[in-house]
Amino acid sequence: MLAGAGAALLPEPLARVAARLGAVVSDPHPPITRSIVLAHRPGPLAPAARRFLELAAGAHTQSGLRA
């Protein structure tokens, strides 16, 4: 793209870097959204994995979305 050809869909942090490097950046209209899921194996989880799930669930519910 910066070499003169092409286009890309980038996450916002990378788009900011691309803009600083000289790329023309614009937000898509309407905005693009995506759904993601968090999956894990059944059974007991390591403490770090369990805490990650707790933090992810908290962020999810704070965003106003259903778990």
pLDDT of residue 35: 84
pLDDT of residue 67: 44
pLDDT of residue 1: 66
**DSSP label of 56:** H
Beta-carbon contacts of 23 under 8 Å, excluding residues fewer than 6 positions away, are 1, 2, 15
Total count of residues recorded for the chain: 67
Residues of the chain with pLDDT below 50 are: 65-67
Name the pTM for this structure.
0.48
